[in-house]
Structure 1
Amino acid sequence: MRDLRPAGWVIRTYRDRPSLQPDQLYLEAIGRPVWEPEHRAAGLRQISSKTRRLVLERDGHACRRCGHAAGEAYADDPSAHVRLTVGHVNPHRSGSAAEAEDLITECARCNETVKHLTGVQMTKEQVWDRVTELRRRDKQELLDWMKADGRAMSQMERVWAMYRQLPAVLREDLKRDLDSLLGS
């Protein structure tokens, strides 16, 4: 599946479509015929399952660009749910490898946006202007994130990311259990 998606194939899982079972897939769109030599994705790096798992766990099962966790609905489009991908920090044409340090967890939306960036990317000065508008405490927290090259997640955010990894049926069970525990 991972090799078909870059070729334009749209394959949904239970994380994208809650009506699917964990072992079901939904083919939404057929992409280029990858079985024909001229359409093979030459040079695609294979990312091992172990490396993919390591990157997702390292990044807290959340997009490092926008912060959304797997399965969450996007605020601007509640019908669309976050599907996480593992993207390359530098594009393949720049020589990026398929090693964990060259990979980053991204939602499909951010991954596509980064692939197609044009001149609208913010400049250092534009970002700096926004940094200077922050309160001193927030500037310090931002600097800490920059130094760590990541945002530390709270215990609740880590549990939320774990919860979002569960199949829809188990998420419903867990929600009922917590609701019962709190007596709501």
Structure 2
Amino acid sequence: MKSQASALLILSLLCGAASAQEMPPPDDYLDKQWTESATPPPPTFDIDHLIPVYVGPKSSLSYGVDPKTLNITLEDRLVRYVMVARSTSGTLNVTYDAIRCATGEYKTYARYNEGSGWTTMDNAEWRPMSGQRMGISYPLALADSGVCVGTVVNGPVSRMIESLKRGGMPEHPLR
């Protein structure tokens, strides 16, 4: 009985080592296989129906995401959304962003100005959500609050919204 258990253990270790050698490194796979889909234009948003996103005690702004703007594109596994940041004086800072859960990155496509509407960001680039100098970034807070489960999109959108309304998913932090 003991020898059978030992043989099974050795066999499972050998199978695991063999399959690990066949898999490409995650970064190589992501870089070679992933292509971003065409970015839809910024959606309309409603500041009266925002779901609050807690960014942290150091933030002087309050953040919220319009649930009707949350969109998952299956081809590239991106989550696009409109985030509204409000200062204590009532000034709004509105962005149209995307989160890439698989790599922990975000991109800002456009900024909204009440007087002139949306302005697209020329040469927008993917940036890491973590490691921000000013504390936690709002994309990381949104990802940890229910948009991502680790490195996976928390789809469908209805589940994402439920998680955000509950105040997040602390048992599955992104970072």
Shorter-chain TM-score bucket reads: under 0.3
TM (norm. structure 1) is: 0.26
Q: Which structure has more helix as a fraction of its residues?
A: 1
Which structure's CA Rg is the greater one?
Answer: 2
TM (norm. structure 2) is: 0.27
Q: Which has the higher contact order (CA 8 A, sep 6+)?
A: 1
